[in-house]
């Protein structure tokens, strides 16, 4: 068990470019969450998957954002036509649900800077 990993750790891009982040959850965890954290704020929920199904999306997730988890393992988060307001830390978390509450384990995050 190596924990949740995220790549890249840092990404600098120019406004208007597309970026993609990857999250590898803890093995056998069936749920995967994406959060966004801006400076001085707590993380905000974006979306989550149970296995390969995307079951909930936040209103924060505009149509420029898309997330996938094609085989129920790793997930990607893509931002198209990036804007300066997209600059933030993007956090991934995974959990194994057993019918009740699940405990989420977080990765180190991907810090995005849009110039």
Partner 1 sequence: AQSVTQLDSQVPVFEEAPVELRCNYSSSVSVYLFWYVQYPNQGLQLLLKYLSGSTLVKGINGFEAEFNKSQTSFHLRKPSVHISDTAEYFCAVSDLPLRRNQGGKLIFGQGTELSVKP
Residues that bind partner 1 (CB under 8 A): 4, 6, 31, 33, 35, 40-45, 48, 50, 55-56, 91, 93, 95, 97, 99-109
Say how many C-beta atoms besides its own lie within 10 A of residue 95's C-beta. Answer: 20
Q: Rounded to the nearest whole angstrom, what is the least distance from the CB of residue 21 to partner 1 in the complex? A: 13
Instruction: Compare residues 68 and 102 and give the one whose CB is closer to partner 1.
Output: 102
Q: Rounded to the nearest whole angstrom, what is the least distance from the CB of residue 22 to partner 1 in the complex? A: 15
Instruction: Compare residues 80 and 105 and give the one whose CB is closer to partner 1.
Output: 105
Instruction: Give every CB contact of residue 48 below 8 A, 6+ residues apart in sequence.
Output: 31, 32, 33, 34, 54, 55, 56
**Buried b / exposed e across 52-91, counting CB within 10 Å, b at 16+?**
eebeeeeeebeeebbbebeeeebbebebeebeeebbbbbb
Instruction: Compare residues 80 and 111 and give the one whose CB is closer to partner 1.
Output: 111
Whether 104 and 91 have beta carbons less than 8 Å apart is answered as: no
Q: Rounded to the nearest whole angstrom, what is the least distance from the CB of residue 17 to partner 1 in the complex? A: 24
Q: Rounded to the nearest whole angstrom, what is the least distance from the CB of residue 95 to partner 1 in the complex? A: 7
């Amino acid at each position: 068990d190596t924990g949740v990993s995220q790549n890249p750790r840092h990404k600098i891009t120019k406004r208007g470019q597309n970026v993609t982040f990857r999250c590898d959850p803890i093995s056998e965890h069936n749920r995967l969450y994406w959060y966004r954290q801006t400076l001085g704020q707590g993380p905000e929920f974006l979306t989550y998957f149970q296995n390969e199904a995307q079951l909930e999306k936040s209103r924060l997730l505009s149509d420029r954002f898309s997330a996938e988890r094609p085989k129920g393992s790793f997930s990607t988060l893509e931002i198209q036509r990036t804007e300066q307001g997209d600059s933030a830390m993007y956090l991934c978390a995974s959990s194994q649900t057993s019918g009740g509450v699940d405990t989420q384990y977080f990765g180190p995050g991907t810090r995005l800077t849009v110039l």
